[in-house]
Amino acid sequence: AVIATNQVDLVCLPQLEATVALRVADDATLAATLRGLGYSVREGLAGAAAGEILVANKYTADLQTLVQQGARLLLITDAATAAAPDAVNLPMGGIAPREGTSWQGDWATSFAWVRKQGPLATLPGSPILEMEWSPIMPDSVLLSHQPWIQREHSWAGLAVGWVHKVASLLMVMPYGRGQMATTTFKLNTNTLATNAVARTLFAGILALLKE
C-alpha cells in the first residue's frame, strides 16, 4: 500500500498597521503597491517633509544631500542599480553581486542571519534565515570599508563557511544629521504585494528609522 501524506508549513506574522508617511523617489509602481498596503505615499523629492521617510532604489547626489541635512532614507538596492551612471557611492562602503563570488554559496556552504530585536523581533523563525526567506533573499551584499561599521550597524548579514567573508544584507546607520537604512533584500513591488515576510521586514526597517 502507498500512503500519501501532505505537509503544509505555515508562517504566522502579526498584522502591522501602515502608520508611516512615505515619499518614494524613483519607482511609481512601488509607490502604488505601498498605497495598496495602506501607506500614505507621495512621489518625487520636491517638497519632501520632515516627517516622511524617503524610499528609493538608487542612491543619488540629491538623496545624499537630503540625508546629510536630516532626512531618513530606506534604500532598497543591488549591485546593478548601484553601478548606474547617476548613482553616487554609499557612505558605508560598496555593493557586490553574489553570483560568481564567494557569497553565491548555497544553504550548505553559507548562512544568512537577521538580528531579531526591537522592530525585527516579530520576523519568523530563528535568527538563521530559512526557506520562508527564499523569495526575498538578495542577489547582492553590502560591504563595509571598516569592520566596526559591519559590527555595529548591520541588522542582517551573510557569511561563508566558518564565518568567513562576512557581508551585510541590511545596514541602519546615521549619516550627517539624518539616518539611512540600506538593504539588498528583494523588497520590490511583487514581494511586498504577495509575501508576508517581505511586508513585515519592510515595516520593521521603517520602525528602525523612526527610533
Which band of pLDDT confidence, cut at 50, 70 and 90, is reported for residue 208?
very high
Flag the least confident range among 13-17, 92-96, 135-139, 158-162: 13-17
- Residue 83 CB: number of other CB atoms within 10 A? 11
- Residue 208 CB: number of other CB atoms within 10 A? 19
Rounded-to-integer distance, Cα 49 and Cα 51, Å: 6
Residue 96, classed as helix, strand or coil, is strand
Which residues partner with 95 through β-bridges? 142
Tell me: the pLDDT tens digits for 157-174? 988 766 567 889 999 999
For residue 9, pLDDT over 80 is answered with no
38 conformational bin, left if phi > 0, alpha if psi -120 to 50, beta if neither: left
For residue 211, pLDDT over 90 is answered with no
Percentage with pLDDT > 70 across the chain: 84
Residue type, 36: G
Contact between 182 and 75 under an 8 Å Cβ cutoff? The reply is yes
Compute φ and ψ for 108, nearest 5 degrees: -90, -30
Residue 61, classed as helix, strand or coil, is helix
Cα angle 95, 68, 202; round to 5: 55
Residue 162 pLDDT: 62
22: CB partners within 8 A, 6+ apart: 31, 34, 39, 40, 41, 42, 52, 53, 54, 55, 206
- Residue 71 CB: number of other CB atoms within 10 A? 24
